[in-house]
Structure formats: C-alpha cells, structure tokens
Amino acid sequence: MLNTLIKLTNNTIRTMENIVGKDNVLSAYEELLTYSTDSTNITNPDEIAEVVVFVENVQQVSKIMKYAYSKSKPVIARAAGTNLCGACLPKKGGIIIDFAKMNKILEISKDNLICKVEPGVVIEDLQKEVGKLDLFYPPDPSNLKASMIGGSIGLSSGGPHTFKYGATKDFVIDLEVVLSDGTIMHTGSSCSKDVTGYNMTQLFVGSEGTLGIITQATIRLIPKPEAKRVMLAYFDTLEDTSKTVNDIISNLITPSVIDLMDNNTLKTIESFYPCNLKTDKTAALLIEIDGFKEILDSQYNKIIEICNRNNSSYIQTASTKEEEARIWISRRSSFGATAKLAPNVLTEDVVVPRENIVPLVKGIWEICKKYELKTCIMGHIGDGNIHPNIALDLRNPVERYNFDRAKTELFELALSLNGRLSGEHGIGCEKSEFISKALDPNNLEYMKKIKKLFDPKNILNPGKIF
Ligand SMILES: Cc1cc2nc3c(=O)[nH]c(=O)nc-3n(C[C@H](O)[C@H](O)[C@H](O)COP(=O)(O)OP(=O)(O)OC[C@H]3O[C@@H](n4cnc5c(N)ncnc54)[C@H](O)[C@@H]3O)c2cc1C
C-alpha cells in the first residue's frame, strides 16, 4: 500500500516537473511542512501536500488542472498564505499551486480606470504603481505588504478602507479562471458597467479557491485622493465611542477609515511598540479622512467637535506625515503585538449591523473573561466588523478547549445580534462547521449545487467553506 502511494506521488512530482520545470517544484518533507500552515497558526503534520508547484502562466495552470482532474487529486491555490481561517491548508493533501512567480502588472489604463494583473501581485506594489499615475486601489487587508491580489480576491478581503470605498468584491470586474477540468474561462469584461448575463465574476470573488483558479484579474481603480488627515480619539466608554461613529456619519462625513482599538489592544501595542498611546482609556478610534485639501480642514475640525461633544477624553491629532505614520504604525502593530503575548494568536472576524456594535464588543469581553483568554479587540467599527485577537498556547489542552468554547459562543453571540460569521476573513476550514447555523438552508443547498457544478470531483480546495 505504502509503495503504491509513493509511486503515485512520484508520478505526480514527475508530471509537475514536466509542466513547470524541475526548479519550480518542491517536494521535500520539510518544504511541504512549511506549506501545511497559514496565518491561522494551525498546522497538522498529517495533512501535507504531495507537491508544491510555482506556476508562470495560465497554460501551466490549465495543464495541472487537467492532470489533477484525471487523477481526482486535490489542488489548492496559494498566494501569500496570510489568511486567518485556514483557507489554503492542504486538508486532503494534493497539489499546492504557488502564485508568487505570477506577479506581473500587465496593464494600467488611466483612461479606463482599470488595471490587469496576475494573481501574485502584492497589494502594496499595485497601490504604489497605480499611485504614480494618481490612481488608487483602496482594498487594503492590513498586511498589504504581504498579501496578494489572488488571495485577497479568494477571500474578498476588506480592511480599514472598506467603510468608504468597499471591499475587494467592489473592484473586481473580470477574471480569467481555470476550472477544475482545465478549461480556461473569462467571467466579465473591461467595461465599468456590464449586465450581460449572470454576474459570474462575483461568484468567484470570495470563493476561497473552491470553484476555480484565478490566473488574471481586471480591477477597477479610482482617482487618488489629493490629501488625508489622521487622528486618534480616546473614550472612557464604549457607548461614547460608538455614538461618535454614528454622529460623524450623521454629519455627512464619510471617513476613509474609522477603526476601533480596545484598552487591551492599546496596552499591548504600547508594551511592545511604544508610541505614546493612552493606555488608561477604554477605547480609541483611529479616524482618517481623505479628499481635496480645502475641504479636509473643516471636516477635521467638525470631527474633533463631535468627539469632544461625546466626551472624548483625549484626541491625538497629526499635523505632519511623521505623526500620521506613527498613528498608523500603532494600528498596524496590533496583530504583531498580540502575537508577543503567547506562542499563538488566533484572530476572529465577526460582523453585525453597526447598531449592535456595543453589545457585540461587551459580549466578547465577557466571553473571553469567562474562558480566561488574553484578548485584544480591534476592528473596523464603521462596518460593524470586529476582530478579537486571542493570544494562547495551542499546545496547552485547557487553553485550546477554552478557545473552542469561546469561539462557539462568539459566533452564537454574533448570530443573535443579526450578524455573520465573517466580515472579511472568510470561512476556510476554521468556521465551516458553523456555516449551516448562519445561512438560510435553501441558500446553503444552492451553494453546494454550484460547487458541484463547477467542481464535480471536489478537487478544488476540498474541506473549505462546507
Ligand atoms: C496581520 C494580518 C492582518 C490582516 N488584516 C486583514 C484585514 O484588515 N482585512 C482583511 O480582509 N484581511 C486581513 N487579513 C487576512 C489576510 O491578509 C487576507 O485574507 C489576505 O488578503 C489573504 O491574502 P493572501 O495573499 O495571503 O492569500 P492566501 O492566504 O494565500 O489565500 C487566501 C485564499 O485565496 C485562495 N487563493 C489564493 N490564490 C488564488 C488564486 N490564484 N485563485 C483562486 N483562489 C486563490 C486560497 O486558496 C485561499 O482560499 C490579515 C492577515 C494578517 C496576518
């Protein structure tokens, strides 16, 4: 039996080498083990791929899929592997396609406000390139220095700018996709408006590599805002924090970012990356506005007035680029700082209608206190999207058990507040057992039918979502 398995694996490796060349294939155990994890922090040494393949063009992907289809072999697309829901773990072994080498920006059109990119383009690189032409690609999963277009489309990533500009799904207008049998398909067009048939593009956005493999994307761009202003406003109560968000919006201001950090987050960041945060406050709001210079000053002053009216106990303003950068560095350090509290950090991602943000955050505090979990809460409060970063030692069975209990209660809480299991990180294998509690059963049934239509042999990223 073992010999047959080894022979089959060797066949796969040889076939992959023929398709992409020896230098683009990894098959040593140690190499495969590094691909058996992602930013979810969960590794199972029994669940490793047979082979990792670096692809350079769509034809290679198509050939790999034809082979995998003929052998009913799982295929997992992998970009930077920074997802937080186990979305690219090789649960059933198989072939991992790594897109790091398919990283070309193929076209940027200022007249059409679009660009065409390969899936391995790093988001910050794209933002910089389009920025040179005074254009802007807003979706920014807070780790934009690492995460790639293919992965962010796979999960329809959001991030801090979603409140004003929308998530990845709002920017993708056409995809080149390789289907499970190797067929190459385009889902949309380069037109900014297009209702010619079903919106197939959106079907693939957020599908976590379970319906097809993306080999090219056409993405909408917008003109780059001329200027921005940033501030950090502190509050002693969650109610004042939440009311401030609503009052800013009621005053017809749409901040480009309105993010929340709770007291534990402030304290943890300050312990490891000191940047003069006020660690005695219950919560802080990072508020960024952008647009034409002339209007920003009046909006900035109006926001300060609203914060003061809602009992803000301190407002840290930024008048130079360096001061702005310092505020942003503090916010972007929240995950890294929490990761210093314990060997592992697990990030959750629930979303509720914004009116329920206070009971959600208070409920999370209570659940984590009950299970004695070190938790730093931050999130995109404008979207009602909250991330508890939970620091623990997964080798400790008590902590692991407590985390699993807390996770179940967290999802129950979010659902009881008319919320959902994920606002932007996806389902992966980490939340798949809960999906039937969150979706209308008829909706779930049709999702499964769609999966079967596109992937009758269940070879595309099996064990994810359902
Ligand atoms: C510190 C930190 C902060 C984060 N902050 C945010 C945040 O604010 N907002 C947010 O939304 N997310 C956030 N994330 C999560 C993560 O960064 C995003 O989900 C990210 O966009 C994933 O990109 P990736 O390139 O790492 O994709 P991967 O993790 O490699 O893949 C993600 C999914 O896409 C699929 N996929 C990859 N490439 C393809 C392809 N070519 N075709 C089809 N499917 C494909 C994979 O199979 C997988 O299901 C954060 C993560 C970290 C570690």
- In the chain, % of residues over pLDDT 90: 93
The confidence score (pLDDT) of residue 316 equals 95
Does ligand 1 lie within 6 Å of residue 152's CB atom?
Answer: yes
Q: Which CATH class is domain 227-331?
A: alpha beta
- Above 80 in pLDDT, residue 3? no
pLDDT of residue 8: 62
> Is pLDDT above 60 for 5?
no
The CB-based long-range contact list for 65-70 (8 Å cut-off, 24+ gap) reads 65/178, 65/179, 65/180, 65/181, 65/182, 65/213, 66/181, 66/182, 67/12, 67/15, 67/19, 68/94, 68/95, 68/180, 68/459, 69/180, 69/181, 69/182, 69/457, 69/459
Residue 434's pLDDT band (boundaries 50, 70, 90)? very high
Pocket perturbation via mutation, ligand 1, pick of 82, 88, 273, 424 by most ligand atoms within 8 A of CB = 82
The predicted model gives 332-344 an average pLDDT of 93
Cα 312 to Cα 305: distance, rounded to the nearest angstrom: 10
In our burial notation (b when 16+ CB lie closer than 10 A, e otherwise), range 301-316 reads: ebbbebbeebebbebb
User: Domains of the chain: which residue ranges?
Assistant: 105-223, 227-331, 336-427
Minimum mean pLDDT among 115-124, 238-247, 317-326: which range? 317-326
Which atom of ligand 1 is least distant from the CA of 160?
8
**Mutation pick for ligand 1 pocket among 38, 157, 286, 345 (CB with most ligand atoms within 8 Å):** 157
Q: What whole-number percentage of the chain has pLDDT above 70?
A: 98
pLDDT of residue 41: 81
Hey, what amino acid is at 452? K
d(CA 264, CA 181): 49
Arithmetic mean of pLDDT over the chain = 96
Would the CB of 348 count as within 6 Å of ligand 1? no
Residue 43's pLDDT band (boundaries 50, 70, 90)? confident
Residues 6+ apart with CB under 8 A from 152: 79, 123, 139, 141, 168
CA 292 to ligand 1 centroid distance, Å: 32
Average pLDDT over residues 88-116: 97
77 ligand 1 Cβ < 6 A: yes
Using most ligand atoms within 8 A of CB, pick from 91, 143, 211, 432 the residue to mutate for ligand 1: 143
CATH of domain 336-427: 3.30.70.2740
How far, in Å, from the CA of 35 to the mean position of ligand 1? 14
Q: What is the pLDDT of residues 275-299, one digit of tens each?
A: 899 999 999 999 999 999 999 999 9
* pLDDT mean over 319-330: 91
pLDDT of residue 7: 60
Spatial contact of 221 and 115, defined as CB atoms under 8 Å apart: yes
Looking at the structure, give the CATH architecture of the domain made up of residues 105-223.
2-Layer Sandwich (3.30)
- Whether 227-331 shares its CATH topology with 336-427 is answered yes
CA distance 136 to 126: 9
Query: pLDDT digits over 234-285, tens only?
Result: 999 999 999 999 999 999 999 999 999 999 999 999 999 998 999 999 999 9
Mean local confidence (pLDDT), 50-73: 98
pTM of the model: 0.95
Residue 1 confidence class, pLDDT cut points 50, 70, 90? low
User: What's the 54 CA to ligand 1 centre distance in angstroms?
Assistant: 18
Q: How much is the pLDDT for 42? A: 80
Distance, CA 80 to ligand 1 centroid (Å)?
Answer: 7
Rounded to whole angstroms, how far apart are CA atoms 107 and 94?
33
Residue tagged 């408006």 (tokens):
193
